[in-house]
């Protein structure tokens, strides 16, 4: 069994185009804490632990995505999301806000409206 881990900090995200010309964002944990004691069960869940708000634009149109990264972080070790599926699209103004869905009350989570 994998020991429960709490992601404390994320590395700088990477934006790249894949072999099909799709623009993707890749987020990886940077710092993990395995000494979480009684909270261990909270961090072993497959959902609702690590969230992210991604604000960006495609060809000048503003977009906001509020996403749960937990499952992919737990199973793949990183989180990836497609920002654009057209090789002709111009992706810009990307900003990322991470939040802990376990430790932070929902009232403190970022909202899509925070982007613009």
Kindly indicate the confidence band of residue 5, based on its pLDDT and cuts at 50, 70 and 90.
low
The share of the chain scoring above pLDDT 70, in percent, equals 88
**Mean of pLDDT values over 20-48:** 80
Q: How many CB atoms lie under 10 A from the CB of residue 37?
A: 6
pTM (two decimals):
0.86
Nearest to 59 by CA among 80, 88, 23: 88
Cα Rg of the chain (Å, integer): 15
Kindly indicate the confidence band of residue 29, based on its pLDDT and cuts at 50, 70 and 90.
confident
Alpha-carbon distance 72 to 91, whole Å? 23
Q: Which of 1-5, 48-52, 106-110 comes out lowest in average pLDDT?
A: 1-5
Mean pLDDT of the chain: 87
Nearest to 56 by CA among 48, 65, 47: 65
The structural domains of the chain, ordered by start, are 6-100 (2.60.40)
Q: Is 24 exposed, middle or buried (0-12, 13-18, 19+ CB in 10 A)?
A: middle
DSSP state letter for 49 = S
Alpha-carbon distance 6 to 33, whole Å? 5
Tokens of 106: 């929902």
Which pLDDT tens digit goes with each residue over 69-96? 999 988 898 999 999 999 899 999 999 9
């Amino acid at each position: 069994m994998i020991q429960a881990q709490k992601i404390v900090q994320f590395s700088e995200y990477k934006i790249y185009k894949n072999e099909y010309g799709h623009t993707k964002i890749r987020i990886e944990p940077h710092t993990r804490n395995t000494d979480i004691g009684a909270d261990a069960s909270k961090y072993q869940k497959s959902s609702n632990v690590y969230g992210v708000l991604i604000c960006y634009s495609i060809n000048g149109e503003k977009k906001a995505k509020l996403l749960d990264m937990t499952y992919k972080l737990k199973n793949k070790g990183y989180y990836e999301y497609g920002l654009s599926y057209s090789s002709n699209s111009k992706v810009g103004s990307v900003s990322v806000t991470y939040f802990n869905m376990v430790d932070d009350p929902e009232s403190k989570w970022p909202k899509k409206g925070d982007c613009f």
